[in-house]
Amino acid sequence: MIEKKDIEKLAHLSRIEVSEEEKDVLRKDMESILDYVSQIKEAVSQVLPKEAGELRNVMREDNNPHEKGLYTKEIMDEVPDTENGYVKVKQIL
């Protein structure tokens, strides 16, 4: 629980003047913020570390692949320039 002296100390460190009414409002606001942070910490602590950082393949299995070259002609017809069955592009290096 945050006390009035904690708010006064923070105000002093921040070099701001805080009225008595503002101290009460700030105390309530900070308590609600800290309660929310503790809820987040509790939720995060329930996640197992292995699950949180585990790498896994999220791509689907390719159960029914189409035959090789089935769409090559249609794709190559859309390309502006080709050479020997490859897409020809400007040299970049």
In a domain, 89, yes or no: no
Domain hosting 14: range is 4-51
pLDDT of residue 49: 59
In a domain, 80, yes or no: no
pLDDT of residue 61: 79
In a domain, 75, yes or no: no
DSSP run (H or E) holding 56: none
Question: Tens digit of pLDDT for each residue in 26-82?
Answer: 999 999 999 999 998 888 777 665 555 666 667 777 788 788 888 888 999 999 999
31 contacts: CB under 8 Å, gap ≥ 6: 1, 2
The CATH number of residue 20's host domain is 1.10.20
In a domain, 15, yes or no: yes
> What's the domain count of the chain?
1
Whole-number Å distance between alpha carbons of 46 and 75:
49
pLDDT of residue 92: 82
